[in-house]
Every structure is written in structure tokens, then in C-alpha cells.
Structure 1
Amino acid sequence: MDWLAAPFEVTFVQRALWGGILVSLICALAGTWVVLRGMAFLGDAMAHGMLPGVAVASLLGGNLLVGAAVSAAAMALGVAAVARAARLSQDTGIGLLFVGMLSLGVIIVSRSQSFAVDLTGFLFGDVLAVRPADLTHLAIALVLALAVSVVGYRPFFALAFDERKAHTLGLRPRLAHIALLSLLTLAIVASFQVVGTLLVFGLLIAPPAAALPWARRIPLIMAGAACFGVSATFLGLLLSWHAGTAAGATIAGVAVLQFLLSTTAAGLRNRRGRLTVPSPAADQRLEYGHSS
């Protein structure tokens, strides 16, 4: 079993594993609400819409996390403003701002001499370069994400399934939506510098979507998403070590593969259930044949 344990005897791989675990837990909390609320496109747009802030912070020698947070907040506010002012659908506003912010970021980054390196690092990160300070930041972000999820559980739940009912119950859906966007922003901003926007979005969407067919309650979906995310991190690092592939992209690929396997297995389970459980019409036919 040396092939299984050998990679994780190296210090930087151990830190990468812990970093991936923390990111998986944060993304399980935020990603479950994103999947249930149907906000996957917004999550992708916000992840890539951080590029202008990151680029400006990098060129000015500032803090990348601050630049990312400012850009993500501007993206979230811009989506709401465009949709309300122009009477466009939310998807249209997201798409327009997504393209605009990403284009602006590429333009800014292209002015620097390290264009390719900076953009590659933004998209894919470097999970194998996780530092102890990064683990501390991720641990703090996890505590904050857990607090927001616990405090906002009831309004988030109502908002995910029936916004009008949330308003009727006095749960202030607009405020809940802002809090949900804040949770999403926290997950993306806290994680992108370590693992890049590709892996953040992969762990934000794929594990909750993989857990969704197997759980009925939201806490169980979050727990399942955490398990899928952690296993994707472990298997991704293991495959990356032995195959010599990019660690972040391999983890994201494993997460998507888990989703495909999970949905396939759930589909086979449902099909088998439909074949083994007689339909009402079949029950009537059997009953009629017995009485005759």
C-alpha cells in the first residue's frame, strides 16, 4: 500500500490535502444552497468576475484577497442593478457582467509582463503550494461559513423553494438573498488564491449535485457534499502524484466524475424501483383477474 500512502508523506502534499479538505467543507456549505437555489451560473460568473480586482491588486502590489472581495461584491451588486434597471432576466444580467468583468480583467492583466503566468494561477491556482497561513485563513473562513449557514438556515431554506412563502413568513427574502450571496462570495474569495477559480467552482457545484439524489434533508446533502469533496481531493492528489498531472485540475476532474457516477447510479436505482413496484393499473388488472 505504499503507492497509497507515499504521496501524503511529503509535507507540501499534506498541506495540499488539508487545504483541499477545508475548501471542500466551505464549498459544501455554500454549494448546497447554490445548487438548490439554481445559482450555478451566478457562482461561475462571480468566480471568474473576480479577475479585475485580482489584477488591479496584483499590479498595485496590494492584497489579492481584498481585490477579489471588492470585485466579487461589485459583480453581485451589478447583477441586481442591471436586472432591475433594464428589466432583464437575472441570467441575462449575469451573462453580460460575466463577459464584461472577465474581459476587463484580461485587458488589465495583459498590461503586465507576466500575463500568462498570472492568468494561469488565477484559473488553476497551486494547491501544492498551500502555506500554513493559507490553512489558517481557510479555517477562519470555514467557521464564518458555518455560522452564516446556521443563522440563515431557515430563510435560506424558504428562499430556495418558495420565495413568496418566505416573504409571507416575514423571513425577508431580499436580505436572505444578500446573505446567501455573501456566503457564496466568502467561499469563492477564501479559496481561489489557494486552488484557483476552476477548482473552487468544481467543488462548489459537483459534490452537492452528486449528493442531491441520495439525501432528502439539507444537512445530509451538505454532509454528503463534504464527503464527496474530501474524497475528490484525496483521489485527485493521489492520481496527480502518480500520473504527473496538474493537481488542481485533477481534483476538479475527479469531482465531476463523481457527479456523473452518482447520477448514473441514482438513475439505475430509480429505474429498478419503477420495474419492481407494480403500477396502479397493474394492480387493478391483477385484482380484476383474481375476482373473475
Structure 2
Amino acid sequence: MDWLLDPFQVSFVRQALWAGILVSLLCALAGTWVVLRGMAFLGDAMSHGMLLGVALASLAGVNVLIGALLSAGGMAFGVSVLSRSARLTQDTSIGLLFAGMLSLGVIVVSHSQSFAVDLTAFLFGDVLAVGGRDLAGLGLALAVTAGVAVLGHRLFVALAFDPRKAHTLGMRPRVAHVLLLALVTLAIVASFHIVGTLLVFGLLIGPPAAAALWSRRIPTIMLGAALIGIASTVIGLIVSWHAATAAGATIAAVAVGAFFLSALGDLLRRRPVRLEGAAS
């Protein structure tokens, strides 16, 4: 049992554990709606599109979180505006903004000789370097996200399952959509400097998708996603410690792996039912 507990005897690993728990809770709340609304492509685009804002903020000497927030918010706003066109689908709008903002970000980075380490941290994060201020920021983001999730629950449910009916009932699906985009933006921006933009997507999608295979109730999916995310953090840190692998990447890989295990379990669960149906 010592090899399970040894990593957590070190202070920076304990800090990483708390950060992973907060990110898991944050991504469970926002990621559940991403999965139910089929917004995975948008979440991916927003996480990558932040590179432009982070690069410009770094060059200007401004906090990169501000640049990330402005960039992700701009992406969300642009998607909302372009999606109103009858000639453009939402996927097309997302793809255009994704490619445009990412390419501009790469251009900005390519003109600076000092971005090698910063870009690596942007893409893959550094969960083992989390400090007290980072944990406080994650806690604040979690509190805001939880508040929005509770207050907007009915709107989000109507938007996810029947937007037209929500409109006829006067529930303002457009307002719900904006709030949902804000929720996803906050989760991604608050988490990217912990696990990186390429890896936050794994925690945002993997645990909720895994939990959604076993439950139809939204609160249960959120709870399951949170537990899977926390378990992925613990397992990922243990594996990273003993195998000398990147901590953030290992956590994200475990989270994605949890989805495939869940999908396999769901398949095995349903197979006897199918066989009985065929026999009858």
C-alpha cells in the first residue's frame, strides 16, 4: 500500500491533487452540458483558440488568464453571431473561427523566441507547479460555475432536449445558450493553466461521457463525472509518479480511458438483452 500513498507525501503532489479535484468538479458541471448538447467540437475549438489571446497577453505583459478569457469569449461570441446565418451551420462557424484564431496564435508565437517553454505549458499544463493562488482561483471559478449551473438548470435542460418547446414556453433558449457558453468558457479558462488546453478537453468530455452511458438523470451524470474525474486525478498522479510521465497528460489519458472502459461495460451489459431478444 505504501506505493499508493508515497506520491502524496510530497507537498507539490498534494497541491496537484487538490487542483485536480477542483478541475474535475468544474469540468463535471460544465462538461455534462457539453456532452448532452453535443458541443464537444465547440469546447475543443475554444480550448485551442485561446492560444491567440494567451500569446498576445504574454507579449503585452498582461496576465495570460485575461487573454485566455477574452479569446475564448470572443470565440463564443463569434460562433453565436455566425450561427444566426441561415447559410452557415454551427459546425462551419466553429471550424472557421477555430482555424482562424489558432493560425493567428501560431503566427504570433512564431515571431517570438521566448515562447518555447510557455507554449509547452499552454498545451500540456503543469499540474505539479500549482500554488495556493491557483487553488483559490479554481475554487472561485467552481463557486461561480456551481451557482450558474443551479440557477440556470431549468433553462439548460429545456435547451438540451427541446429548444423549440422552450421557446414556446417563454424560457428564452438564446439566453440559456449564452449562459451555457459562458459556463464552458469559464471552465476551460480556469483549467487550462493546470492541465493545458490539449488536456482539459479530456477532463471536460471523458468523465461526463462515461457517466452518461449509465444514467439519464442529469444530477447523477454530474456526480458520476465528478467521481470519475477525481479518480482519474488520483490514479493519474500515482502512475505519473512511479512511471515518470507528464502528470497532466497522464490524468487526461486516464480520464479518456475511463470512458472507453465505461463504453465496454455498457456494451457487455446490453449484449445479453440483445441475445435474449434474438432468441425469442
Fold shared, TM-score > 0.5 on shorter chain: yes
| Stretch moving more, 125-134 or 71-80 | 71-80
User: How far is 1:199 from its partner?
Assistant: 2.3
Contact 1:141–1:190, Cα closer than 8 Å, also in 2: yes
CA offset digits 1:122-175 (Å, max 9, x no partner)? 110100000011000001111111000000000100100111011112110000
| Stretch moving more, 84-93 or 168-177 | 84-93
- Identify the residue that residue 288 of structure 1 maps to in structure 2: none
In structure 1, C-alpha distance between the alignment counterparts of 2:24 and 2:273, rounded to whole Å: 32
- Identify the residue that residue 206 of structure 2 maps to in structure 1: 206
In structure 2, C-alpha distance between the alignment counterparts of 1:29 and 1:105, rounded to whole Å: 29
Q: How many residues align?
A: 280
CA offset digits 1:44-71 (Å, max 9, x no partner)? 0001111111111101110111111110
- Identify the residue that residue 132 of structure 1 maps to in structure 2: 132
In structure 2, C-alpha distance between the alignment counterparts of 1:109 and 1:118, rounded to whole Å: 10
In structure 2, C-alpha distance between the alignment counterparts of 1:84 and 1:146, rounded to whole Å: 29
- Identify the residue that residue 66 of structure 1 maps to in structure 2: 66
In structure 2, C-alpha distance between the alignment counterparts of 1:63 and 1:253, rounded to whole Å: 29
User: How far is 1:85 from its partner?
Assistant: 4.3
In structure 1, C-alpha distance between the alignment counterparts of 2:21 and 2:127, rounded to whole Å: 11
In structure 1, C-alpha distance between the alignment counterparts of 2:173 and 2:4, rounded to whole Å: 47
CA offset digits 1:189-226 (Å, max 9, x no partner)? 11111221122111000000000111120000000000
Q: Which amino acid aligns with 2:262?
A: S
Q: What is the correspondence of 1:1-20 to structure 2 with a 5 Å cutoff?
A: 1-20=1-20
- Identify the residue that residue 259 of structure 2 maps to in structure 1: 259
TM-score normalized with structure 1 length: 0.93
- Identify the residue that residue 286 of structure 1 maps to in structure 2: none
User: How far is 1:117 from its partner?
Assistant: 1.7
- Identify the residue that residue 146 of structure 1 maps to in structure 2: 146
Contact 2:50–2:68, Cα closer than 8 Å, also in 1: yes
Q: Which amino acid aligns with 1:39?
A: M
Contact 1:198–1:252, Cα closer than 8 Å, also in 2: no
CA offset digits 1:55-95 (Å, max 9, x no partner)? 11101110111111110111011112223347210001101
Q: Which amino acid aligns with 2:65?
A: L
TM-score normalized with structure 2 length: 0.97
Say which SS state the counterpart of residue 213 (structure 2) adopts: helix
- Identify the residue that residue 227 of structure 1 maps to in structure 2: 227
- Identify the residue that residue 172 of structure 2 maps to in structure 1: 172
Q: Which amino acid aligns with 2:77?
A: L
In structure 2, C-alpha distance between the alignment counterparts of 1:155 and 1:271, rounded to whole Å: 36
- Identify the residue that residue 122 of structure 2 maps to in structure 1: 122
In structure 2, C-alpha distance between the alignment counterparts of 1:86 and 1:159, rounded to whole Å: 20
Identity of aligned residues (%): 68
In structure 2, C-alpha distance between the alignment counterparts of 1:174 and 1:83, rounded to whole Å: 12
5+ residue gaps, structure 2: none
In structure 2, C-alpha distance between the alignment counterparts of 1:140 and 1:191, rounded to whole Å: 12
Contact 1:210–1:262, Cα closer than 8 Å, also in 2: yes
Larger Rg: 1
Q: What is the correspondence of 1:74-93 to structure 2 with a 5 Å cutoff?
A: 74-85=74-85, 87-93=87-93
- Note the aligned Cα RMSD (angstroms): 1.2
- Identify the residue that residue 287 of structure 1 maps to in structure 2: none
Contact 1:235–1:254, Cα closer than 8 Å, also in 2: yes
In structure 2, C-alpha distance between the alignment counterparts of 1:76 and 1:87, rounded to whole Å: 19
In structure 2, C-alpha distance between the alignment counterparts of 1:21 and 1:38, rounded to whole Å: 25
- Identify the residue that residue 285 of structure 1 maps to in structure 2: none
In structure 1, C-alpha distance between the alignment counterparts of 2:119 and 2:273, rounded to whole Å: 48
- Identify the residue that residue 39 of structure 2 maps to in structure 1: 39
Contact 2:194–2:248, Cα closer than 8 Å, also in 1: no
Contact 1:109–1:118, Cα closer than 8 Å, also in 2: no
Q: What is the correspondence of 1:241-280 to structure 2 with a 5 Å cutoff?
A: 241-276=241-276, 278=277
